[in-house]
Amino acid sequence: MKKTKTNHILRIKYIVLALIVILSTVVYLLRFSYINQEYPKQQIQTYQINETLQIKNLEITVLSSSLYDTINYIKKFEFDTERIDELTKSIELIMVAELEIKYLGNDAEEGVQLLNDFIETCSIQSNAFSNGINFFDISALNPDNTLEKLRSNGNTTVLISFSIPKSLFTAASWGRIHQRDFYLTIGCYPVKNMVALSNEL
């Protein structure tokens, strides 16, 4: 009698456990379906040099890109002593992209804010490697006040740069660095814009 009662209790426990598993699975599937409906798969748009993309009220065209070693980067642009010390200690290559920015709206201050927001979302990517913009180099790369040009004319060109440190690559990957595809990436979700860049020195 006692054994029968024990078996009965175990059977109930198994049934309850099975119901919990089934219920958890159903809840998970419903949640997964909801997330997929609310947050669709990321879209990736790919562009080439001189192709124009639009983000909000900005038209953005990458006019050119150049890959510099540290020495030539320092020679090309005027940096202060502290920045030169930083560059020579840790960074081996720098990608510089020249962009044409056109503001399509009527509020100049909005255009300036959109440009600032846009710059903050920029990064460089090559397979698993990714790095953000060199914010502290913007003034040296654009000594003629890019924001003021956008404010007064509605369009401007801007140079932005990205560091490519050797320390973030394996020896084999660094040896093939000029064979890698580099992209300027703008935004992330729901649309990730990628502009193919030159990887030649």
Domain boundaries, the chain: 1-39, 44-197
- Beta carbons of 169 and 127 less than 8 angstroms apart: no
Looking at residue 120, what is its pLDDT? 85
What does the pLDDT average to over 27-55? Answer: 76
- Measure the CA–CA gap between 179 and 172, rounded to whole angstroms: 12
Highest mean pLDDT among 28-37, 84-93, 134-143: 134-143
Mention every residue, 6+ apart, whose C-beta is less than 8 A from residue 171: none
Q: What pTM was estimated for this model as a whole? A: 0.77
Q: Among residues of the chain, what percentage have pLDDT more than 90?
A: 46
Quote the pLDDT of residue 34: 56
Q: Which CATH class is domain 44-197?
A: mainly beta
In this predicted structure, the answer to whether residue 40 has a pLDDT above a threshold of 70 is no
Is the per-residue pLDDT at 27 higher than 80? no
